[in-house]
Amino acid sequence: MAEMIRRLVVGALGTNCYVLKSGEELAVVDPGGDAETILDEVRKLGGTVKYVIDTHGHIDHIAANREVIAATGAELLVHELDAKLLAHPDRNLSSMMGLRITSPAPSRLLKEGDKVVVGGDEMTVLHTPGHTPGGICLLASDYAFTGDTLFVDSIGRVDFPGGSEEQMMASLGRLQAVLQKETELYPGHGEPGTFGRALLVNPFLGSLVVG
């Protein structure tokens, strides 16, 4: 169980960046902008930033990768199918915003079933394409980082390049099979909340509820 998870709303699109601390190790999930705000939080928490983890490769989740990695020496983790987005402004959508944002190359390419260990916490990589080909969720014992796959009250868009409504629905079905109602969701946008809450308010989960 995480010692603490801090949520920072960063960047022009209001992306949730999370700083996870377990023991003396930290991970920064989706540093989508406002690098100094993220680094200030890291300094307050203390410890060593082991990883920067991108749940997918869009601009609003990777924009501060370079600054955070340069300041902390953290390893960068991303799914193997989204790695190519990091270096290409057209693919990571920064060019749509009139920017040319790129990220350092990843240190480790993630795939389905991989384990990511931070302090005493172990998270399992669930490959959840739909928003992007290499979108992931990170599942721990009592919480999950769900990126732009699953928000408490909605889901990520499927109309960007590489998006797929069919894959998104399959990914939501897989999440439904492994998440518990008491699992705390830490999504890429919007307020965190339990999966049980999402089952009540998220219209995209209604057709998936069994029993």
Q: What is the pLDDT of residue 100?
A: 83
Q: Please tell me the distance from the alpha carbon of residue 125 to that of residue 113, in angstroms, as a whole number.
A: 5
What are 20's strand-pairing partners? 5, 27
pLDDT, mean over the chain: 93
Query: pLDDT tens across 32-56, in order?
Result: 999 999 999 999 999 999 999 999 9
Confidence of residue 166 (pLDDT cuts 50, 70, 90): very high
Q: What is the pLDDT of residue 98?
A: 78
Q: Is the pLDDT of residue 204 over 60?
A: yes
Structure token pair of residue 14: 């209001």
Q: Is the pLDDT of residue 210 over 50?
A: no
**Does an H or E element contain 194, and which?**
strand 193-194
Q: What is the mean pLDDT of residues 121-138?
A: 97
Structural contact between residues 168 and 160, judged by C-beta atoms closer than 8 angstroms: no
Q: What is the mean pLDDT of residues 138-166?
A: 96
Q: What is the mean pLDDT of residues 81-92?
A: 86
Q: Is the pLDDT of residue 5 over 80?
A: yes
Q: Which domain holds residue 107?
A: 4-208
Confidence of residue 63 (pLDDT cuts 50, 70, 90): very high
Confidence of residue 209 (pLDDT cuts 50, 70, 90): very low
> Can you tell me whether residue 204 is helix, strand or coil?
coil
Q: Please tell me the distance from the alpha carbon of residue 169 to that of residue 203, in angstroms, as a whole number.
A: 12
CATH of the domain at 144: 3.60.15.10
Q: What is the mean pLDDT of residues 116-138?
A: 97
Contacts of 132 (CB under 8 A, 6+ apart): 56, 57, 58, 81, 82, 85, 148, 160, 162, 163
Structure token pair of residue 149: 């796959």
Q: What is the DSSP code string of 28-89? A: EE---S-HHHHHHHHHHH-SEEEEEE-SS--HHHHTTHHHHHHHH-PEEEEETTTGGGTT-T
**Number of independent structural domains in the chain:** 1
Q: What is the pLDDT of residue 1?
A: 59
Q: What is the pLDDT of residue 68?
A: 98
